[in-house]
Structure 1
Amino acid sequence: MAERDDPETIGRRVQQLRHERGMTQKQLAEPAYTPAYISTLESGRVRPSDEALRHLAERLGVAFEELATGRPTHLATALRLRLTDAQRTLATGEAEVAAEQYRALLAEAETHGLDAERAAALLGLGECAMELGDLVTGRRHFERAEECLADAPLPSRVPALRGRAVSHYLAGELRYACYLLESTLDELNRSGLHDPDSLLLLYASAIGPYMDMGAHVRAAQAAEFALALAPQVGDPALVARMHRSVARTLIAEGRVAEADASLAKAAELYRQLQIRTELANCHWMRGYLYAQNGELERAENELRDALAMLSEKRAALYSSQVAVELADVLHRRGRSEEAAELLHRVLGDLSSERGAVHSAAAHRLLGIIAEDARDTEAAEEHYVRALSLLERAGAAGDLADLCRLLGDLLRRTGRVEAALDAYRTGLGHRTAPGTTTLGPAPAQPPL
C-alpha cells in the first residue's frame, strides 16, 4: 500500500476541503505558496511534498495523514482499540459476539487500506471460527491473513500459520499439520528469529498431532519446550484491561503514540490468554504420560486441570478431546459407567471432519466398555465406526491396535475368517511405538 494517495485524489480532496471552509486559493496558499501552485495541485498536475501537505493541512485544520490518505484522524489507533475489545470478547469465550466485532473491523480496515489491521481482523475471525468448530471457514481466514502479512517478518505470520496447521489437524490431516508446524519451527530456530511467544504457540500446537500419530517422544519434548517458554504473567486479563483503559485516556488527550503502545501491550496479553488453550495441551500431555506410567490418580488430576482450562475458554473441540483421554483413565480406575457417560456426552462435538482421531478413540473405548459388559454387538459396532474414522485420518499406530481388538472380538464370536481379515489389515498399518513417518525433529529452541 502506498503511503499517500495519488496527486489527483489529493488535489480533489484539497479543493473539497477548501470549498467547505469558504477559502480562496490565495488564502490557502499564504504565506508560503502562490495561488497558481494551489491551482496546479488541485488539478492533480503536481505531486505535493510532505512540507506542502503539512502547510495545507494546518491551513485547512485537518491532520497530515487525513489529507494525504483520506483516512479520518487517528483511524488506525481507533481500530486497534476496537481490535483489543474483540480480542477480549474472544478471550472470555464469546466467539459469536467477537466474530461480529471482527467482521465490522475487517470491513473498515479494507475500506481504508489498513493492511496490518485487516490481517489482525482476519486472524480474529479465524480463531472465532475454530472456537465454533467451523474449520473450513477458519482456514480460509487464516490463509487470507497470511496473504496480508506476506512481506512481514516470520514471527508476525506465526499465529496465522499455526491457525492453518491446527485447522488441518482437527480435520484429521495429521501429517500436513505436523509439516506446517515443524517447517515454521525450523525456520524460526535456524534463522535466529528467537521469539518465545511464537515458539510457545508452535510447540504447544504440535503436541496433539504428535500424540495422534504415535510420536510420543516428540510430543513429550514439545510439551517441555512449551512449558519452559511460557510467559510468566500474574493476571493477564487484569493487566490488559488496565492497558485498554489507559489507551482510551491517552487517545482523548491526543497522545496517539503512547495510546498505541498501551494497545500493543493489551493485545499481547489477550494473545497470552489465548495461549491458555495451548498450555492446557501441556497438562493434557502430562496426564497422558502419567497414564502410560500407571500413575492414574496423577493422570486424572492433570487431565481435569486441562479440561477446566479449556472449558473456561469454551473450546468445545479441544475439551472433547481431553474428555476422551480422561474417560480412558476413569475406565482404568474401575469407573466405567462414569467414563461411558462422559464419552456419550462429548461424541456430539466430534466427527470425521472435526476431531476424527478422538472421535475414533471414544468409539474404541466405548467398544471396550461394551465388551467388558458382554455386549459384543455394541462393541463390534463401536470398533467398526472407529476403524472408518482412523483410516480417513491415517493414524497408523491406532489403526493397528484397533484391528487387533476387532480381530480378537470376531475370533471369540466364532468368525475366524473375518478375524483374520482384521488382523491382516492391522499388520498393514503396524508401526513401532513412538515412531512416525515424519522427517527429522525440528531444531531445538535456544532456551
Structure 2
Amino acid sequence: MAETRTSGPVGRGGRRAVDGSAGGNGSVARNGSVARNGSGDGDGDAPGALGRRVHRLRTARGLTQREVAEPAYTAAYISTVEAGKAQPSERALRHIAERLGTTPDELTSGRPAHLATDLRLRLTEAQRCLATADPAEAAARYAAVEKDAGRHGLTAERAAALVGRGQCAVEGGDLAAARGLFEAAERLLAEVGATLPRRVPALRGRALTHLLAGELRYACYLLETALDELNAAGLRDPEALVLLYTAIIAPYMDLGAHARAAQAAELALALAPEVSDPALVAQMHRGVARTLLAEGRAAEADAALVKAADAYQQLQIRTELAHCHWMRGYVFAQSGDLARAEDAYRTARDMLASRRAPLFAHQVGVELADVLHRRGKDAEAEDLLRELLSGLGPERGAVHGAGAHRLLGLVAEGRDDVEAAERHYVTAMGLLERAGAAGDLADVCRLLGDLLRRTGRAEAALDAYRTGLGHRSAPGTTTLGPAPARPF
C-alpha cells in the first residue's frame, strides 16, 4: 500500500525512496531504506524494527491506526508500516512521530527522546561528584551512564563515561585499571571514525598513567605524536592543543628537558585566550608555574599558582586545588621558605587523603619529608618515608619512590650508616634509570659518588660520577626525538 502523499520517486524494488525534504538527516541506502548513524537497536533502521516501535507506542497511547494516520495518511498505510512492509519517508516519519508524541530519532533508533541530553547532564553531575565528593560515588555514576549509553549506541557519551571512570581510577591510584578504561575509550572512538581532537582526553589520560608509573619517555611519545598529528593536519583545536601542551610539561621536566617544557608552556599560554573551559586554563597555569620555577622566576610561578587556585576554589574542584597547594609547597621549598613549604605540603596531603587519592598523597608526603629533613626533623622524616614506601614502586610513582630512597640515604649518612645509605642510593638509581629521569638520576649518582669517595673507594666513586655525567650531558636531546611541530 503506497502513501496517500507523494514523497519521491519509486525505487527499483517498487518501494518509495526517502523524501529529501529539508530537515531530514538520512541518506538513501541501496535497498531504499534510510541509512542513519548511531542506531541503538541490533536491527537498526530495518522496517520491521521501526514498525514494531510504531505499534508499541501507538497501543501504549491508546490510539487507533486512523488517529495516527489522519489527516495526511490512511490507516491502511500505518498498518503496512507497523507490519514492516513499508519504509516511511522523512515527511511521513515526522508526521507519525508527532502523532505519537515522540521524535523521528526515537522511532528510527529506538532511543528514548532526549536521551543524549539527559546522559550529558548525568556526565556533568558525575564530574562534579568527582570534583567535590567521593570518587567511588563518581565512578558508580560514570558506570551507570556508560551502561545506558552503550545500550542505546551513543558512542560519544559512552566514551566520555569511560574517560570519567579512568579519572576516578587515577585518583584512587589504580593505574592499570585507569589505563584500560582510557584505552577502551580510544578504541570506541576510533571505531566510529572520531577525529583526533575528540580522542585527546582519553589519550591524555593514558599518557598520565604512564607518567605516574614512571614511564616518562613513553608518556612523551604519546603526547608528542598527538601534537604532531594535530599540527601537521591543520586540526587547530585550541582546547585539545592546550590539554596536550599542558600534559607534556611534567614528563619533560622530569626528563630534564626544561627547554622543551618551557616551549610547551609558551604555546599553551598563547592559545589560552581561545579556551573557554576555566578548569583547563587553571590546569595550564599550574603546569606553566613549574617551568617558571625552573627558570628561577619564583614570584611569577607563585602568581600563576594563585590564579589556578582561585579558579579551582570557585569551581569547587578539590583535588586540583590540593595540587595547587602541593605546587606552592614546592615553590616555597625551592625559595628556602621551609616553614611555609611544610604548611602547604601538609594542607595538600590532608586534602588528598580526604579525597582518597593515595598515590598523590604519597607523592606529596615524599616532598614533605624532604622539607622535614632540611628543617632538621630527621626522625619524623624517616618515619614518614618508611610509611610511604609501601605505596610507591617501579610501576607506581617511580620518581617519588626514588626520591624517598634518596632521602633515606641522606638520613642514613647523617647517622654514619654508610651501608644503609649506599643501599638506598643504589635503589634510587635503579628506579630513576628505568624512568629516565635524567636530572634526578645525576643528583643521586653524585651523592653516591661522594659517599664512595669519602669511604676510600675512589674507582667506584668515579664510576658513579661518570654515570651521572652521562645522563646529565644533554637532557632531553639524547632521550627524545625531534620536538613537536608548532601549531599553524
Category of TM-score, reference length = shorter chain: 0.7 to 0.9
- 1:186-228 deviations in whole A, cap 9, x for unaligned? 3445555444443333233223211221212333444455567
How well do the aligned residues superpose, as a CA RMSD in angstroms? 3.8
- 1:351-386 deviations in whole A, cap 9, x for unaligned? 211111110111112201210221223212322322
The whole-number CA distance in structure 2 between the counterparts of 1:27 and 1:377 is 91
* Contact kept in structure 1, 2:131 and 2:319, CA below 8 Å: no
The whole-number CA distance in structure 2 between the counterparts of 1:120 and 1:220 is 30
| CA separation of 1:200 and 1:439: change in aligned 2, threshold 3 A | same
Which protein has the larger Cα radius of gyration, Structure 1 or Structure 2?
Answer: 2
- 1:129-164 deviations in whole A, cap 9, x for unaligned? 111111111111111212233333433222111101
Q: 1:392 aligns with which of 411, 417, 434?
A: 434
Secondary structure at the counterpart of residue 244 of structure 2: helix
Instruction: Please state how far the C-alpha of 1:398 moved relative to its aligned partner.
Output: 3.3
Other-structure match for 2:99: 59
* Contact kept in structure 2, 1:300 and 1:330, CA below 8 Å: no
Does 2:141 correspond to 1:141? Answer: no
* Contact kept in structure 2, 1:280 and 1:306, CA below 8 Å: no
Q: 1:92 aligns with which of 96, 116, 132?
A: 132
Does 2:168 correspond to 1:125? Answer: no
Other-structure match for 1:162: 204
Other-structure match for 1:207: 249
Does 2:320 correspond to 1:277? Answer: yes
* Correspondences of 1:300-311 after superposition (within 5 Å): 301=340, 305=344, 308=347
* Contact kept in structure 1, 2:325 and 2:348, CA below 8 Å: no
Instruction: Please state how far the C-alpha of 1:127 moved relative to its aligned partner.
Output: 0.4
Other-structure match for 2:84: 44
- Supply the AA of the counterpart residue of 2:394: S
Other-structure match for 2:143: 103
The whole-number CA distance in structure 1 between the counterparts of 2:404 and 2:453 is 23
Instruction: Please state how far the C-alpha of 1:44 moved relative to its aligned partner.
Output: 1.9
Which stretch of the first structure deviates more once superposed, 45-54 or 215-224?
Answer: 215-224
Other-structure match for 2:68: 28
- Supply the AA of the counterpart residue of 2:412: A
- 1:42-89 deviations in whole A, cap 9, x for unaligned? 222322122212222233333333322222222222222211111111
* Contact kept in structure 1, 2:132 and 2:317, CA below 8 Å: no
- 1:213-270 deviations in whole A, cap 9, x for unaligned? 121233344445556738798999xxxxxxxxxxxxxxxxxxxxxxxxxxxxxxxx99
Instruction: Please state how far the C-alpha of 1:425 moved relative to its aligned partner.
Output: 5.2
- 1:376-435 deviations in whole A, cap 9, x for unaligned? 232123223223322332334433443343344345445667656655655664533565
- Supply the AA of the counterpart residue of 1:88: R
The whole-number CA distance in structure 1 between the counterparts of 2:479 and 2:375 is 33
The whole-number CA distance in structure 2 between the counterparts of 1:201 and 1:271 is 20
* Contact kept in structure 2, 1:281 and 1:306, CA below 8 Å: no
The whole-number CA distance in structure 1 between the counterparts of 2:313 and 2:108 is 33
Other-structure match for 2:295: none
* Contact kept in structure 2, 1:303 and 1:322, CA below 8 Å: no
Which stretch of the first structure deviates more once superposed, 343-352 or 420-429?
Answer: 420-429
- Supply the AA of the counterpart residue of 2:253: M
The whole-number CA distance in structure 1 between the counterparts of 2:318 and 2:241 is 11
Amino-acid identity (%):
60
- Supply the AA of the counterpart residue of 2:173: G
TM-score calculated relative to the size of structure 2: 0.72
Other-structure match for 2:120: 80
- Supply the AA of the counterpart residue of 2:410: I
* Contact kept in structure 1, 2:132 and 2:318, CA below 8 Å: no
- Supply the AA of the counterpart residue of 1:405: L
Instruction: Please state how far the C-alpha of 1:347 moved relative to its aligned partner.
Output: 2.9
Secondary structure at the counterpart of residue 149 of structure 1: helix
Does 2:240 correspond to 1:172? Answer: no
Other-structure match for 2:11: none
Which stretch of the first structure deviates more once superposed, 386-395 or 78-87?
Answer: 386-395
TM-score calculated relative to the size of structure 1: 0.77
Secondary structure at the counterpart of residue 44 of structure 1: coil
Instruction: Please state how far the C-alpha of 1:350 moved relative to its aligned partner.
Output: 1.8
| CA separation of 1:434 and 1:24: change in aligned 2, threshold 3 A | closer
The whole-number CA distance in structure 2 between the counterparts of 1:420 and 1:235 is 48
Other-structure match for 1:10: 50
Instruction: Please state how far the C-alpha of 1:325 moved relative to its aligned partner.
Output: 3.7
| CA separation of 1:153 and 1:206: change in aligned 2, threshold 3 A | same
The whole-number CA distance in structure 1 between the counterparts of 2:409 and 2:458 is 19
Other-structure match for 1:247: none
Which stretch of the first structure deviates more once superposed, 154-163 or 401-410?
Answer: 401-410
The whole-number CA distance in structure 2 between the counterparts of 1:205 and 1:185 is 11
Which stretch of the first structure deviates more once superposed, 322-331 or 161-170?
Answer: 322-331
The whole-number CA distance in structure 2 between the counterparts of 1:353 and 1:142 is 18
- Supply the AA of the counterpart residue of 1:161: L
| CA separation of 1:20 and 1:29: change in aligned 2, threshold 3 A | same
Q: Which runs of 5+ in 2 are unaligned?
A: 1-36, 281-311
| CA separation of 1:306 and 1:176: change in aligned 2, threshold 3 A | farther
The whole-number CA distance in structure 2 between the counterparts of 1:194 and 1:302 is 39
Which stretch of the first structure deviates more once superposed, 20-29 or 125-134?
Answer: 20-29
Secondary structure at the counterpart of residue 84 of structure 2: coil
The whole-number CA distance in structure 2 between the counterparts of 1:416 and 1:117 is 62
Does 2:225 correspond to 1:183? Answer: yes
The whole-number CA distance in structure 2 between the counterparts of 1:187 and 1:272 is 32
| CA separation of 1:438 and 1:233: change in aligned 2, threshold 3 A | closer
The whole-number CA distance in structure 1 between the counterparts of 2:134 and 2:343 is 22
Secondary structure at the counterpart of residue 102 of structure 2: coil
